[in-house]
Structure 1
């Protein structure tokens, strides 16, 4: 049986990372998904042009039949530090999305980058 730690480690190996620097120069190229809860976003803010789909709703909100994104759409997922985003990225890959990346360092990394 796998532990949560095992699942996160596996997801980290399967979902490529993108640095804050790389993303900042290509913000308009990606669909950016914040997988944190709304209360976290209300407290800390979010990346420009990101949409909020909490981790627990990824399967329901991003199912191929229920959204306008194509399998090739470039997607960046992020959370506070990276673990939930890796899990969400793995789920998106399993749903058929082929170009999913995890923001290295998550929102905390982004805040450090822009400040």
Structure 2
């Protein structure tokens, strides 16, 4: 039997966690696709990373599958994908899913509060 922490450990092993500072550098470079996997209500409360693609975790497999009608073209398997959520757990789990779907460059920048506190670019949606 697996527990939530088992899934998180597997996800954290599969997807590197980057510091907020490294995430901000990636954002400044403009070469990465930032994906916020929180639901729309949470995003509406806090805003999100400027320019982030919004893909609720429950829709990730559909949006990431380039053969599916709901595919988001920003999600390319060779793109540098940086995931964010509320605290880092959903981003880690989402990252593991993307890796299993064939995405090569996936990282987890953690939670939106840390991003905002570090002065990361934000926008209200």
Normalised to the residue count of structure 2, the TM-score between the two structures is 0.85
Normalised to the residue count of structure 1, the TM-score between the two structures is 0.92
**Structure 2 unaligned spans of 5+:** 121-125
Q: 1:95 aligns with which of 79, 94, 101?
A: 101
Higher strand proportion (structure 1 or 2) = 2
Give the alignment of 1:1-115 within 5 angstroms.
1-27=1-27, 28-65=30-67, 66-68=71-73, 69-104=75-110, 106-114=111-119
**Structure 1 unaligned spans of 5+:** none
Distance 1:36 1:114 in 2: 20
Higher helix proportion (structure 1 or 2) = 1
> 1:64–1:95: 8 Å Cα contact kept in structure 2?
no
Aligned Cα root-mean-square deviation (Å): 1.4
